[in-house]
Chains A and B, each alone.
Chain A
Amino acid sequence: MISLKNLTKVYGHGEQSLTVLDNLDVDVANGEILAIVGPSGAGKSTLAQCINLLERPTSGQVIVNGEDLAQLPERKLRVARRRIGTVFQSASLLSRRTAAENIALPLQYLGVTPAETKARVGELLERVGLSHRANHYPFELSGGQLQRVGIARALALRPAVLLSDEATSGLDPETTRSVVSLLRQLRDDLDLAVVFITHEMDTVLHVADSAARLENGRITEQGSLVDLLTDHDSALGRALQPHLSPAEPEAGSSLWHVTYDSRKVPSDWLQLVSAELGEPVALLAATIQSIDGTSTGNATVGLRAPAHLATAAFARHGLRAIPGELAIANAALDHSSDTRATEDLQWA
Chain B
Amino acid sequence: MGINISSAVQVHALSDTALAELPSLLVPALGETLAMVGIVMLIVIVVGTPIAVALHNMAPGGLFERQGTYSVLSWIVNIGRSLPFLVLMAAIVPFTRFITGTNIGIAAAVVPMSLAGIPFFARLVENCLRDVPLSVTAAARASGGSPLQIIRTAQLGEAVPAILGGLTINTIAMIEYSAIAGTIGAGGIGYVAVTYGYQRFDNTVMLATVILLILMVTIVQLTGDALVRAATPHLSRRK
Chain A residue nearest in CB terms to B137: A92
Query: Given A94-B154, A109-B149, A54 and B142 touching (CB < 8 A)?
Result: yes
Which listed segment binds B: A78-86, A196-204, A251-259? Answer: A78-86
A89 with B234, Cβ < 8 A, contacts A54-B142, A79-B144, A105-B153 known: no
Closest A residue to B145 using CB positions: A109
Alpha-carbon gap, A307 to B136, bound state (A): 59
A105 close to B233 (CB less than 8 A): no
Tell me whether B66 is interfacial, beta carbon within 8 Å: no
Q: Which residues of B contact A140 (CB under 8 A)?
A: 233, 237
Residues of B near A97 (CB, < 8 A) are: 157
Residue in A89, A110, A137 whose beta carbon sits within 8 Å of that of B233 in the complex: A137
Given contacts A95-B233, A96-B158, is CB(A82)–CB(B135) below 8 Å? no
Point out which of B144, B149, B234 has the most chain A C-beta atoms below 10 A from its C-beta: B144
Which chain A residue has the least Cβ–Cβ distance from B237? A137
**What per-residue 1/0 map shows which CB atoms of B211-232 lie under 8 Å from chain A?**
0000000000000000000011
Which residues 94-119 in A have Cβ within 8 Å of B in the complex? 94-97, 105-106, 108-110
Q: Tell me the complex Cα distance, A156–B139, Å.
A: 13
Q: Is B143 an interface residue (CB 8 A)?
A: yes
Residues of A within 8 A of B234 (CB): 95, 137, 139
Are the CB atoms of A96 and B232 closer together than 8 Å?
A: yes
A210 at the interface (CB under 8 A from B): no
What's the least CB distance linking A148 to chain B, in Å? 15
> Are A96 and B146 touching (Cβ within 8 A)?
no
Contact status A54-B135, CB under 8 Å: no
- Taken residue by residue from 296 to 334, chain A's Cβ proximity to chain B (1 for < 8 Å, 0 otherwise) reads as 000000000000000000000000000000000000000
Q: How far is the CA of A202 from the CA of B226 in the complex (A)?
A: 47
Complex interface bits, A61-99 against B, C-beta within 8 A gives 1, otherwise 0? 000000000000000001101101110111011111100
Is A157 an interface residue when CB atoms closer than 8 A count as contact? yes
- Total number of A-B contacts with CB less than 8 angstroms? 77
Chain A residues with Cβ below 8 Å from B133 are 90, 92
What band does the interface of chain A fall in when counting residues whose beta carbon is under 8 Å from B? 20 to 34
Of residues B135, B143, B157, which shows the largest number of chain A Cβ atoms within 10 Å of its Cβ? Answer: B143
In-complex Cβ contact of A81 among B142, B149, B154, B161 (8 A): B142
CB distance from B4 to the nearest CB of A (A): 69
B26 proximal to A (CB < 8 A): no
A54-B138, A92-B135, A96-B158 known; A82-B144 Cβ under 8 A: yes
A251 to chain B, nearest CB (A): 57
Residues of A close to B157: CB separation below 8 A: 94, 96-97
On chain A, the residues within 8 Å of B81 by CB distance are none
| A46 at the binding interface (Cβ < 8 Å) | no
B146–A109 touching, CB < 8 Å: yes
Q: How far is the CB of A139 from chain B (nearest CB, A)?
A: 4
Question: Is A153 part of the contact surface with B, judged by Cβ < 8 Å?
Answer: yes
- The answer to whether B142 touches A86, judged by C-beta atoms less than 8 angstroms apart, is yes
Q: Does A52 contact B (CB under 8 A)?
A: yes
Q: Give bound CA distance, A78 to B237, whole Å.
A: 35
Tell me, in angstroms, the Cα distance from A191 to B158 when the chains sit together. 34
A153 touches B143 (CB 8 A): yes
The answer to whether the Cβ of B160 comes within 8 Å of any Cβ in the partner chain is yes
Q: How far is the CB of A143 from chain B (nearest CB, A)?
A: 15
* Interface set, chain B 1-33, CB cutoff 8 A to A: none
* B200 on the A face (CB < 8 A): no
Question: Is A109 touching B136 in the complex (CB atoms < 8 A)?
Answer: no
**Chain A proximity of B165: nearest CB distance (Å):** 14
Interface centre among A86, A96, A97 (most CB of B within 10 A): A96
CB pair A92–B136 under 8 Å, yes or no, is yes
Task: State A140–B142 Cα separation when bound (angstroms).
Answer: 24
B202 smallest CB distance to A (angstroms) = 49
Smallest CB gap from B160: residue in A: A96
* A54 & B141 in contact (Cβ 8 Å cutoff): yes
CB distance from B85 to the nearest CB of A (A): 34
Contact (Cβ within 8 A) B154 A88: no
CB neighbours (8 Å) of B139 from chain A are 86, 88, 92-93, 150, 153
B140 adjacent to chain A (CB < 8 Å): yes
17 contacts between A and B (CB under 8 A): A54-B138, A78-B145, A81-B142, A86-B142, A88-B135, A90-B135, A92-B135, A96-B233, A105-B145, A105-B153, A109-B144, A109-B145, A139-B233, A139-B234, A139-B237, A140-B237, A156-B143
Q: Which residues of A contact B (CB under 8 A)?
A: 49, 52, 54, 78-79, 81-82, 84-86, 88-90, 92-97, 105-106, 108-110, 137-140, 150, 153-154, 156-157
Known: A94-B154, A97-B157, A108-B153. 11 other contacts (CB 8 A): A49-B138, A52-B142, A79-B144, A90-B135, A94-B158, A105-B140, A109-B140, A109-B146, A139-B233, A139-B234, A140-B233
A-B residue pairs, 10 tightest by C-beta: A137-B233, A106-B143, A92-B135, A92-B139, A139-B234, A86-B142, A109-B145, A109-B144, A92-B136, A105-B143
